[in-house]
Structures are given as C-alpha cells and as structure tokens.
C-alpha cells in the first residue's frame, strides 16, 4: 500500500509537539516523522532522556498531558511512537546528526538506521 503524503498541517503539528514537550521540561533528543515499512501511515517518533526511565504507559501519559496542556488533544495528535534514547534506531541517528546545528527538514528515508529500515522520514530535531 502507498504511504500517505506528509503535508504542512502534519509538519506544524510536529513542531507544536516538540514545543509542548520542551515547555513541560521534557527535552527532546529526537523528533521526526517516520514511515516504517511495517505501518501503513506516518508515525511521529519522539525520544527524550526524561522518558527513558518511565514505563511505556507512564511515558505516553506524560506526553499526552503535555500535549493536552498545549491544546493538542489525543484526537488531534498524530500516531506518536515513543522510543528510548538507547534504542539502536535513535542512537544511530544521534551518532550521525547529534552535533549538526539543525536537521529540520532533512529527509532520511530509503536506508537502515540502527535496527530499522526507514521508507521515508522528515526530521524536526536530532540532538
């Protein structure tokens, strides 16, 4: 199945998500739109060291609360995929782009990062 197109509305939501998390003291180590081959739609991947120590349910609760506080309800939010900063996918991205001044707008698809092949990706932040 063909993947949907990422549009301006999605990109602005991604920026709003990053801003909301950082305002709630959740510094974002990685934030990017990713289309993995195993899913039919785009996922907003986010990683933060502050979420690493939480179990997945608590991590999603903390993210959803931050988004709700910023006026982005769960219904309005895209599918969010929280990953630990120690995940091989995130680690490989950070190893290559972590010291880059800005990755905003970079396309990273058609290759394997860590342990995951990426059909397409649009980076917002990798620190």
Which is nearest to 82 in space by CA: 108, 38, 44? 44
Domains of the chain as residue ranges with CATH: 8-126 (3.30.460)
49 and 85 Cβ atoms separated by less than 8 Å: yes
pLDDT tens for the chain, 127 residues long, are 346 778 788 899 999 999 999 999 999 999 999 999 998 889 999 999 999 999 999 999 999 999 999 999 878 888 999 999 999 999 999 999 988 888 999 999 899 999 999 999 999 999 9
Percent of the chain with pLDDT over 90: 76
State which H helix or E strand residue 89 sits in.
helix 88-97
Which residues neighbour 57 within 8 Å (Cβ) at sequence distance 6 or greater? Answer: none
pLDDT confidence of residue 42: 94
Residue found by looking up tokens 């959803």 in the block: 64
């Amino acid at each position: 199945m063909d993947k949907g197109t990422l549009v301006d509305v999605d990109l602005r939501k991604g920026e709003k998500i990053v801003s909301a998390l950082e305002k709630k003291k959740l510094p974002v180590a990685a934030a990017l739109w990713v289309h993995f081959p195993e899913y039919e739609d785009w996922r907003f991947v986010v990683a933060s060291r502050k979420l690493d120590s939480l179990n997945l349910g608590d991590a999603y609760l903390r993210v959803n609360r931050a988004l709700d506080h910023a006026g982005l309800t769960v219904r309005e939010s895209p599918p969010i995929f929280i990953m630990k900063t120690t995940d091989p996918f995130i680690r490989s991205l950070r190893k290559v782009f972590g010291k880059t001044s800005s990755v905003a707008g970079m396309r990273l698809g058609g290759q394997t990062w860590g342990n995951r092949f990426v059909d397409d990706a649009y980076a917002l932040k990798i620190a």
